[in-house]
Each structure stands twice: as structure tokens, then as C-alpha cells.
Amino acid sequence: METLTVALGDRFYPIHVGQALIGRSELLLPFLRRPKAAIVTNSTVAPLYLLRLADALQRAGVDVAEIVLPDGEQFKDWRTLNSIFDVLLERHCERSTTLIALGGGVVGDITGFAAACFQRGMPFIQVPTTLLAQVDSSVGGKTAINHPLGKNMIGAFHQPKLVLADTDTLDTLPERELRAGLAEVIKYGLIRDLPFLEWLEGNLDRLLAREPTALAEAVCRSCRNKSEVVVADERETGERALLNLGHTFGHAIETGVGYGGWLHGEAIAAGTMMAAALSRQLGWIDADDLVRIERLFRRAGLPVYGPMLGVDRYLELMQNDKKVEGGKLRLVLLQQVGRAAVTDAAPLAEICRAIADRCAHA
């Protein structure tokens, strides 16, 4: 087991990464204010890991409530959030009860937001079970639900007390989700960590073969990047925005296609290619860089073209993104491979061209 820390002053918290962690209640107990917890998971993860986690806690004397949500991004909404509150109140959970998110990004985001709001804030723990959640969404305290007009529109910053990333859970992850998770892993290399990008280029096949040591290294190096950025800029007033490389395009893809179409990581891969193409058009990176990035995404089995929504529809959806400021699109682009920057200076015509060029001509 390796342990990183997110050094946010008095909200300092550890990230444990390793194998067979879910059954180790001694890792969780120090972070429960009282011996009472509610585990939130979904109908896919519950049969795999809920018993192991709940049983470990119960044997340690913890009163455990279990909340099983339907599985899918389309349930990351107010209705599902309310169903969590219903159970918390029926089970007389309090501000001192700890909420535990067991699952992927959707479970983590909605559980974290529930913890942020319930009685104006209760402690929570992330136990991410997908690659995407382990390398990105479980770290950093961004929590949210979706609104029909935009992803993650309603949410809060609420840091977990602990992140427990058990890499064994990646064994049961569907192939497509593993590949989607790699999009965010590759992102860290692109925006701020060239040595990591080079490591990924050399070890991608080991990751796709799910070699435990390779997966653990990818998770650790990703979490280290994420935690450094979050510590430097918790509320995303500066550097943290760089983590959104490809996300303004990607969110437009996700919302435009509708739930059940593209996975988040798939949309981010295609969105990152749009951002990279735009960076190339502006002369920030060169043609070889663009090829290099595209090759890595392709090897990971990720889409490198977006769906044909029409450029106008892309722009309309992008206008609803949280990165809009004063009506201006603020985009994350690549200054070079391994270094990103935020800009609102990209001409609209160039943005349109990048979108048009990187849409699949089906």
C-alpha cells in the first residue's frame, strides 16, 4: 500500500492506494467521528464489494446503513440525491455520521454532494472502484449532480476525510471503462507531467493487460498530480482549471449525445483532440505533437473524433459550461506536450474549425 496526502491545511487527508484495502476496517475507523456510517453504492458495485466493506465495518462495531442507487450517469440528479437524504433521515443519521461513497465517479460525485448538503455538511470517505474515480474524481473535493442543461451544474467543494483506492476493484471493471479511465490518466501527462506521459507511452500495454503494479503506479502518479494541483488551487481560481483540458468540448459531447451514449473518458479523449487541434492551429504545438497525442489515445482504444452534432450545437452547449466568464469561452489548450494554459483569446472561427475538423464523418 502506498499513501499520498492532500495537504489542505486542517482538511489534510490521505489517499491509500493498493490491493485488498476494502476489507481493512482499521484503515477507515480512524476517520469515523462516531461508530455510525452510511455506505452509498450502486446496483452494479453492490453485489461485488458492498458486503466486504459493510461486513468489515460491522465487525468493528460500526452501525452501517446501506444505500444502493441505480447505476448510470442519468441518475446523477436531484431525484437520486433526495433518495439518499430520505434514507439518511429515516435511519436517523446525523451530522456526525460518516457517508462512504463506494463506486465510480457518479457515486462519488453524488455522495459527496449529499455529504456537503445534509444538515449543512457531514464527513465522507471515498472508496473509488473505477479507474476514472481512482485517478480523478475521488480526489479534490469537487462534488456535483447534473442539470438537464449541463453536467455538474449543481454542486459543492467538499473534501473527503480519506480516499481508499483498492486497485483490486479494477479487475471487475469492464474493458470500455478501463480505457475511458485512461483518458484522464493521459491528461495528467499532457498538462503537466511529460515524464509520466513518456512512462505511459512505454507502459500502456501493461495497463491494458491490467498488470497490478502498472495500475498501482498509474493511479499513484495520477493522484500525486491531482493532489498537487488541488493543494495549489482548491477552488479553481487558477491552475486547477488546467485539469479541464478537453472538458469544455467533452461536456458538450456528453450532453449533446445524451446519457448512455459516450462515457466521460471517451468524450474527454475526443475533446482533448479538439483542444490539441486548436492548439496546433494557433501555432502552440506542431503537427508531430498532434500525431503523438492522437497515437496514444488510439492505442488506448479511445475515440479521437467527436460525434457530428454540428458546430453550432457544440458552441451552444459549450456556452453553458462553468468555464464561461463574461460570456467568453475560457479554454484549456496545450502550450507544448506536457504543459497546458488557459486562454480566452482563441478566435471563434478557429474554435469552429477545430470542432469541424475533429468531428467524425460517419
Question: Catalytic residue numbers?
Answer: 120, 142, 184, 226, 236, 240, 244, 247, 251, 264
Q: Find the binder of a second copy among 78, 194, 198, 286 (CB under 8 A).
A: 78
Shortest Cβ 83–a second copy spacing (Å): 12
How far, CA to CA in Å, does 246 sit from each of 23, 114, 123, 190, 346?
36, 27, 31, 11, 14
C-alpha cell recorded at residue 71: 447505476
Q: Is 133 left (phi over 0), alpha (psi -120 to 50) or beta?
A: alpha
Binding residue for a second copy (CB under 8 A) from 32, 99, 106, 116? 116
State the nearest-atom distance from the C-beta of 296 to a second copy, in Å: 31
For the CB of residue 120, give the shortest distance to a second copy in the complex, in Å.
5
Give me the least distance between CB of 157 and a second copy, in Å please: 6
Residue whose CB is less far from a second copy, 320 or 336: 320
Give residues 20-49 in contact with a second copy (rule: CB under 8 A).
Answer: 34
- Candidate residues 121, 174, 258, 347; the one interacting with a second copy per rule CB under 8 A: 121
With contact defined as beta carbons under 8 Å apart, do 84 and 77 qualify? no
Instruction: Copy the grid coordinates of residue 198.
Output: 513518456
Least distance in Å: CB of 154 to a second copy?
Answer: 5
* Cell 458552441 found at: 315
Task: Report CA 218 to chain centroid distance, whole Å.
Answer: 15
Are the beta carbons of 272 and 304 closer than 8 angstroms? no
The answer to the question of residue 348 lying near a second copy (CB under 8 A) is no
Asked if 312 touches a second copy (CB under 8 A), the answer is no
Member of 92, 176, 295, 298 binding a second copy (CB under 8 A): 92
Tell me the DSSP string of 251-291.
HHHHHHH-TTSS-HHHHHHHHHHHHHHHHHHTTSS-HHHHH
In the chain, the amino acid numbered 133 is A
Binding mask 181-220 for a second copy (x = CB under 8 A): ----------------------------------------
User: Alpha-carbon distance 339 to 345, whole Å?
Assistant: 17
Cα angle 38, 42, 44 (rounded to 5 degrees) comes to 140
For residue 319, state whether it binds a second copy (rule: CB under 8 A): yes
Kindly state whether residue 361 participates in binding a second copy, applying the rule CB under 8 A.
no
Among residues 122 and 223, whose Cβ is nearest to a second copy?
122
Comparing CA positions, the residue from 168, 122, 136 lying closest to residue 23 is 168
329 binds a second copy (CB under 8 A): no
* Site of interaction with a second copy (CB under 8 A): 34, 78, 82, 85-86, 89-90, 92, 94-96, 116-121, 142, 144, 147, 149-150, 153-157, 235, 319-320, 322, 324-327
